[in-house]
Structure 1
């Protein structure tokens, strides 16, 4: 099969080649989901004629798809090999090696740093994570990153590895310019609204000009649509569908109401390999028509290519715009006439997000399309309805009243400490005094973050003034080539995030200068499972308790999540310590009330009395909290 690049792919190919041939030999290609990033990279690789190429991915779905796409561009003379938990044959002699981060990370010592002339990193926004960066940095070859979402949630920047974007084609631009299938986006609010409550709030606004919080409005007017009703609407369409669900139980429950359906998630089996095979079977069944609908959780966000999907349904709150774009992109693949989107997410934040996207698409369409074309295509742009050659956005009639309410909603603060910290750093604050003097420059910053956020640690952590852990600081000092305590005192200012006295700052974890500077290695448990068993034997129940007590066993590392970075079975602290929280907010709330807790301050003082209560329920049950409009008053039974 002969394939040729499309116009937008040619733009990306030329921009990337220019970057790779430059002095720093690196390029970052940012391209919307659905524009064929992998095929674009295959063309780049072929044009550059590198002898040895490494293609890094973070899961086996992407790996298989990458191999298939490269086979469309390269002939049989090109030797290709996969390097993952299931296959390692022929990799040393291959022209192109497709590898998972996990497998490559475990076996880095087997690879010479100069083995590959080109290192391609797919979904490059993962490259700054602690588990990925060592692999990306190990090889000296040219670096090519590809992603649809370059900005990470943890304030690190992948541009440190790949440089600035050589091209950036957003999802809105791709839709506006007709490079993707026609999208018909329907925000379905009519059957999920309490009309009486809606009119009551409108009346309160007219009479008293009262201001509301979004959480209060969401709680009062949006009725949680039953799964049976959602299934009835989805079953009314013939298109193959991906239905995004809030959780695995939600996906399993909705599947029972949908015709010819199956689930797709990361917990289908005990092992990663079996999970991958079961999920792959679901994809094959969808492609072959044996099933028509897939109920998916987050595992469907990245690297899953199903060209036959004609409908995407959102039945979950998506807090991050990045995840929303990834999920929407599952259906935006070339080779189909259109994609229908059914958005059942009932809250003001989602409605505002889709409205902003609609207006941006319209602005770009008008920018890139001539007046003659706009007139001939019957382009329509109204406040709550837009229709063009490649897109259509529609909202139900109630949206007019909802927008009136939205205008009278109070500006809310950043929901998490991490988001507030990121905003403060962008304003250049480095001390609490600077924060107090200038926080009003961003209306979403609170005056007292140390009181407002339950997971507050310190101002230093908030501003990211210093490295957060002793391990991080130790690695940086060793990378600088510092070998003695005296040399550290003389040179620590070379990195502004190194403290003068790490032994005082991390006194609980500190051993000695030799260990800190890498002169004496401790013998930790070789595998994650053994470390977990040892921690359980000590009776450790929480991450915080682990940090306080891990020294009771000399073979336990301070940060097991970082020390075993390539252990594919690391899930989270709960799994590691063999503990679990209450399954939902209702049970957690009931347990808290049983302890006599009526305030956040008292909760923080007493929650440890029940090992199944998390330190921050709002964070631990984030999806349910947002989806059902929970508040602290509701959690403590004060409303």
Structure 2
């Protein structure tokens, strides 16, 4: 029996002679389609369906992918751990996630994968900045045109870079055009809508890149299903001192002022009393959602939610953090410094007080590129940012980071640390300062992200 496979609108259509689909062995994800009398599966099941048919000894007429072979080469010479990572991915049937620290050269590994497979490739990235960085790198490395989906351009080439947003809109139309898909910052693929990108693409080779694979909401399990399991992982400490800069993390606790302490304790008490009476334990994310849901019709729940937000603002924007920042900036006046905060308002306060170039979500793309360019060439020695430099931006080398406030996310912390870990010409150590308000919930937040 011969089985024909074709790609149709984000699915793999399975046809057997004279409608004999029901007589086929079980195939991954394939269900009968009563409209056409054939079998059908999400496109990401293509490789698994091919394997199952091969094991069953059936002849396959494969019309899913008809792709040209690309003759690519690269001047990169992979480091030992980069070679190990790529080999592990290849041993996993060219599927899976590579987890490496920021600055460890994940892009280099992906480029070598493109060379070795020699197949049309789609690279999916979270931001326009990353789209431009990838496109520029690929144009410099390969003597082929590079396509773009995003940033006002919709041009498809054998090698194309796309934002997640554009890929979500285009995947169904280009699902049979690529043999390899690279998901940069692959944890984004766990988002409910973005999952469809991977489902609609038939590409059998799938490479995920990230500094931190696991997500608090366990959506990394979906990523593993769509891209592959974690094929290789290396920790920051395994590379620090040789391939990345050696580093120190210094946690500095600061006291709230008497006025801040009074306000914080009052707000925190309002919150704690309500959740205790309501029996909300916050052992998982759904508990917080329960509080948000109650706040819609319960005035006390709304009061508790607002009190928690106010307490968080007090502890994260404590005045003595700013005083301590002043001493750090003075101590490291010859160093290149990035100051991270969780609040845009604080960024502008710090920018005005210390004359620091500021980057927030409100900063235009051109202005942001200008600031980072001047930071790169040494015109600016320090910048302050609210979250937007955590990922998706090529941040010039720095050797000191100051975290004034942030979430309990391990990923956020790892990204911020990675911003200062590129090896230094003088072999110097990088330093990350965490400023934490003492005797507040921020102590637990800082513990979680570490």
Q: What is the TM-score normalised by the length of structure 1?
A: 0.46
Pairwise CA distance, 1:126: 0.9
Of the three residues 241, 266, 283, the one matched with 2:372 is 283
Please name the residue that 2:322 is paired with: 227
Residues 198-257 of structure 1: CA distance to partner in whole angstroms, max 9, x if unpaired? Answer: xxxxxxxxxxxxxxxxx99xx99x974152441342143121211001300100101122
- Residue 420 of structure 2 is matched in structure 1 by 331
Q: How many pairs were matched up?
A: 317
**1:166 to 2:255 alignment:** no
Q: Does 1:3 align with 2:99?
A: no
Tell me the distance in 2 between the aligned counterparts of 1:99 and 1:317.
Answer: 29
Q: 1:78 aligns with which of 119, 144, 154?
A: 144
List per-residue Cα deviations over 1:10-31 (Å, max 9, x = no partner): 1111111222xx2xx5221111
The 8 Å contact of residues 307 and 333 in structure 1, kept in 2 or not, is answered as no
**Residues 1:45 and 2:114 are matched in the alignment:** yes
Residues 83/227 of structure 1: CA separation in 2 closer, same or farther (3 Å cut): same
**CA–CA separation in structure 1 for the residues paired with 2:447 and 2:198:** 38
1:99 equivalent in alignment to 2:162: yes
In structure 2, relative to structure 1, the CA distance for the partners of 1:289 and 1:95 (3 Å cut) is same
Retained in 2: the 8 A contact 1:187–1:351? Answer: no
Residue 123 of structure 2 corresponds to which residue in structure 1? 55
Deviation at 1:35, TM superposition (A): 0.7
Unaligned runs of 5+ in 1: 198-214, 269-274, 359-639
In structure 2, do the counterparts of structure 1 residues 167 and 263 end up closer, same or farther at CA, with 3 Å as the change threshold? same
1:352 CA drift (Å): 7.7
User: Does residue 341 of structure 1 match 2:432?
Assistant: yes
- How far apart in 2 are the matches of 1:251 and 1:293? 13
Q: Provide Cα deviations, 1:73-110, integer angstroms capped at 9, x if missing partner.
A: x33x2221222132224x2xx22101111122223454
Distance, in Å, in 1 between the alignment partners of 2:234 and 2:197 is 27
Aligned partners of 1:85 and 1:103 also within 8 Å: no
The answer to whether structure 1 residue 183 and structure 2 residue 274 are counterparts is no
Q: Is the 8 A contact 1:183 1:340 kept in 2?
A: yes
Task: Tell me the distance in 2 between the aligned counterparts of 1:347 and 1:353.
Answer: 12
Aligned to 1:130: 192
Q: Distance in 1 between matches of 2:96 and 2:131?
A: 21
Matched position secondary structure for 1:188: strand
**Given that residues 244 and 315 in structure 1 are in contact (C-alpha distance below 8 angstroms), is that contact kept between their aligned partners in structure 2?**
yes
Residue number in structure 1 paired with 2:88? 15
RMSD, aligned α-carbons: 3.0
Q: Deviations over 1:423-444 (max 9, x none)?
A: xxxxxxxxxxxxxxxxxxxxxx
Higher Cα Rg, which structure: 1
Distance in 1 (alpha carbons) for counterparts of 2:391 and 2:448: 23
In structure 2, how many angstroms separate the alpha carbons of the residues matched to 1:284 and 1:126? 27
Give how far 1:9 is off.
0.8
Q: Distance in 1 between matches of 2:105 and 2:423?
A: 8
Give the structure 1 partner of residue 209 of structure 2: 146
Structure 1 134/223 Cα, relative in aligned 2: closer, same or farther at 3 Å?
closer
Specify the SS of the correspondent of 1:145: strand
Return the alpha-carbon distance in structure 2 between the equivalents of residues 147 and 291 of structure 1. Answer: 29
Pick aligned residue for 2:132 from 39, 57, 64: 64
Given that 2:420 and 2:430 are in contact with CA atoms closer than 8 Å, whether structure 1 keeps it comes out as yes
TM-score, structure 2 normalization: 0.64
Shift of 1:312: 0.5
Secondary structure at the aligned position of 2:153 is classed as: coil
Q: Which one has a larger percent strand, Structure 1 or Structure 2?
A: 2
Are the counterparts in 2 of residues 228 and 257 from structure 1 also a CA contact under 8 Å?
no
- The alpha-carbon deviation at position 165 of structure 1 amounts to 1.1
